[in-house]
Amino acid sequence: MEQARALGDRLLVAINSDAAVRAAKGPKRPILPQAERAELLAALAAVDDVAIFDEPTPQALYAALLPDVLVKGADWAADAIVGRAEVEAAGGRVVRVPLLEGRSTSQLVERIRGR
């Protein structure tokens, strides 16, 4: 989050709704409900606001907001980043930031289940 925040004046973090997470990850997810996930993110000093989207992707949100900088994890291929075309067409840029090893929820769930 700090890397993303350093790229702009404000940081809005978009998160999947509970329904969108279940659709993408299965019936046992999310681990934390959307309100708690949003509250945890909003408590971070680097985060200015949190938006929850219910669609499979944040395409409509990005198209409506047209941020100056759209930040995604480096695990996303540049050509697979949703909203890229709209943001770049509006003069913005897309930045891929390195992931922190072992910090994904999926990896954490697998470690817990393995014990």
Predicted pLDDT at 112 = 84
Query: Average of pLDDT values for 31-46?
Result: 97
Q: Inform me whether the pLDDT recorded for 102 exceeds 80.
A: no
pLDDT at 84 over 80: yes
Number of domains in the chain: 1
Contacts of 75 (CB under 8 A, 6+ apart): 99
Domain that holds residue 32: 2-114
Amino acid 110: pLDDT: 82
- Output the domain CATH number for residue 101: 3.40.50.620
pLDDT for the residue numbered 30 = 94
Measured in whole angstroms, how far is the alpha carbon of residue 66 from the centre of its chain?
15
CB 87 within 8 A of CB 93: yes
> Cα Rg for the chain, rounded, in angstroms?
15
